[in-house]
Chain A
Amino acid sequence: MDKPLIEIKGVRHAYQTQTGELPVLDGLVLSVPEGGFSAVVGPSGCGKSTLTRLIAGLLKPDEGEVWLHGELVRGPKSIVGMAFQNPVLLEWRTILQNVMLPLEIVSTKMSRQEREDRALHLLALVGLEGFEDKRPSELSGGMRQRASLCRAIVHKPEVLILDEPFAALDAFTREDLWQTMHAVKAEEPFTGVLITHDLREAIFLADEIVVLSGRPARTQYVMDVHLKGPRDIEHLYTPRSADALNILRHQIQIAQGRAPAEEIAQ
C-alpha cells in the first residue's frame, strides 16, 4: 500500500480561554491514501473545524504531527484547497473571477487566458456554464456552493478540505451536489477530507468514515465504506447502507456519551 498522502499522528490541540486551557483535539489519528476521500463525523463542537485548519497549516498542533505528501506541515501550503459551509464568494468579483482567485496567488506562471480556460472548464464541469459573468448574489445557494467548489480545486490542490460545504443546502440540492462531487472527482482526482454532520452524505461520498469522540476529540472508530468509486443515489437505500448507517449512528451516540462505551469495536 502507498504511503498515505495525509497523515495525522496523535495530534493534540487546545485553545486558551479565560477559564484556562480548553483541549479540543487529543490523540487524533487520521490517514488518507492518495486519491482517497475520508469523511470525518462527530458530535457538535468536537473540534472538526480545528482539524481542517490543522491540515491546511493555518494552525499548529500543540503535540503530534501533520504530514502532507511526506512533508511535515509547518505552515500554509498551496497544495491545499478549501471550501466551507459559507461559500465566501467575493461580491465585487464575477463568478469567473472568483474561481480564478487562487490562481492569482499560486500560479503566477499561467497566462491570463490559461487561467480563464481552466476556470471555465471547471464551471462547465459543475454545471455553471453561462453563469461565469454573474455576481455571486445573483446565484442560488446551491450554485454559489458549486462555484466555491470550483475555486477550491482550480489550482489542482493535492488535498481538498471540505468543511460541511453542503450543510446549509436543502435536501434536493444537497443530493445534486453529492452527484456533482463524484463527477468532479472522476475528472479531477483529489485526495480529500470531508467534515460533515450528515451520515448519509459520509456514506455516499467517502471511502472511509472516521468517527471522532466528544471533546477532546480523538479517533474513536473508523469504517471502511463498502461502496467504491462513483455511485448512484440508489445505493444509499440498500440493506448494507442501512447497516452502515446504524453502526455510525450508534458510534455517534457513544461519542455523545448517550450509549455505553464498552461496545466500541475497532
Chain B
Amino acid sequence: MNWKQIAVPIAALVIFGIFWELLVWVNGWPNYKMASPSDLWPSFWKFRWLFLEYGWDTLWRTVAGLVLAVVLGVFLGMIMGLSRIMRDALYPLLVGFNAIPKATVVPIIALLFVGQHDMNTILIAFLISFFPIAVSVSIGLSTLEPEYRDILASLGASRFTIFWKIALPKTLPEFFGALKVAVTLAFIGTNLMEIVEPHGRGLGHLFDSGKISADYPLMFAVLIALALMGILLYYVVVAIEKVFAGWAERAPT
C-alpha cells in the first residue's frame, strides 16, 4: 500500500465535505433542514462520551451479528452449493425471507424476546446480512468446474479433502465480496433495531434522542459516525481478505 492509496480516498472525503458545506451555504438552509459539516463538530464534542459509549454498543453488536451471519451463511451456502436438492428447496425460502422488509421483523423479534435488547439487535443484524454470504458461497461451490474435482477425485481423495483443498479456497474471493456487502447491511440491521425499538443504548438511540429533542445537527452527526464505523469495518474485512485471498488480486500489467 503506497501513500496514494491512502491519500486518494481521504481527498475524496474532504472534497465531498466541501461540496456538502457549499450546498447548504448556497441554498441558505437552516440547520433544521439540513445540517452542514461545520454544524457537526459542536454536536460531536458536546456528546463525545455518549458517542464513544453508544458507538461501542453499536459496533460490537454489529460485529456479533456479522460473525453469526458468516457462520450460518457459510453453512447454508455449503448445503446449497453441494446439494442440488437442498438448493432447489432452500432458494425460494431464502429469497422470500430476504424480500420481507426487516423493519416489519423488528417488532416481531422485540415481542418474541422481550427485554433481550442485545440479542434482539444482534439477531436483526444477522437476519439482514447473512443472505449475500449464503448465496455467494453456494454459487462459488456449485460452479466449481468438474476438472478441479477430478484432479483430486481420480486419486481417491475424499469429498472433505476436495472441499478443503480446492472448493473452499476457490470460493474465498466470492465470499469476501459478499462479506463487504454484508458489513454495511449489518450496520443497517443494528440501527434499525436501535431506532425502531429504542432501549436506551446504541447510536440508533442517540439518533432517536436527537429526533425527539429536535437536535438536527446531532442526528446528522450520528449518521456520519455510522458511516465512519462502516468504512472502518469495511477496511478490516479488506485487510482479512488480503491475508486469506490476496492471491485473487492480479498484479497490474
Tell me whether A and B are bound partners.
yes
A88 touches B145 (CB 8 A): yes
Given contacts A75-B156, A90-B166, contact A58 B247 (CB under 8 A): no
CB of A57 closer than 8 Å to a CB of B: yes
Say how far B141's CB is from chain A's closest CB, in angstroms.
15
Please tell me the number of chain B residues within 8 Å of chain A, measured between CB atoms.
22
Cα distance, A161 to B151, chains bound together (Å): 11
Residues of chain B within 8 A (CB-CB) of A53 are: 150
Is B213 an interface residue, CB under 8 A from the partner?
no
- A interface, how many residues as a size bin? 20 to 34
Closest to A103 in B: B155
Q: How far is it, in angstroms, between the C-alpha of A76 and the C-alpha of B162 when the chains are bound?
A: 14
Q: Are A78 and B156 in contact (CB under 8 A)?
A: yes
Residues of A within 8 A of B150 (CB): 53, 56, 58, 82, 84
Given contacts A56-B150, A101-B165, contact A137 B250 (CB under 8 A): yes
Residues of A within 8 A of B161 (CB): 105
Contact of A86 among B147, B245, B247 (CB under 8 A): B147
Bound complex: CA of A76 vs CA of B159, how far in Å?
Answer: 12
For B246, the closest partner residue in chain A by CB is A92
B103 at the interface (CB under 8 A from A): no
Q: Is A104 close to B, CB under 8 A?
A: yes
Question: For chains A and B in complex, what number of residue pairs have CB atoms within 8 angstroms?
Answer: 62
Closest-CB distance, B196 to chain A (whole angstroms): 43
In the bound assembly, the distance between CA atoms of A90 and B165 in angstroms comes to: 9
Cross-interface CB contact of A105 among B156, B169, B247, cutoff 8 Å: B156
Known: A86-B147, A101-B165. A80 touches B247 (CB 8 A): no
Question: Which residue on chain A has the smallest CB distance to residue B244?
Answer: A92
The verdict on A151 contacting chain B, using a C-beta distance below 8 Å, is yes
Q: Which one, A92, A104, A151, contacts B169 given CB within 8 A?
A: A92
Q: Find out whether the CB atom of B147 lies under 8 angstroms from the CB atom of A155.
A: no
CA–CA, A80 and B247, complex, Å: 29
B86 at the interface (CB under 8 A from A): no
Contacts of A101 in B (CB 8 A): 151-152, 165
Do A151 and B151 touch (CB < 8 A)? yes
Interface string of A84-128 (1 = CB under 8 A from B): 101010111000000001101110000000000000000000000
Residues 155-199 of B at the A interface (beta carbon under 8 Å): 155-157, 161, 165-166, 169-170, 172
Closest Cβ of chain B: how far from A38's Cβ, in Å?
Answer: 18
Contact between chains at B248 and A91 (CB < 8 Å): yes
Task: Answer whether residue B52 sits at the interface, using C-beta atoms and an 8 A cutoff.
Answer: no
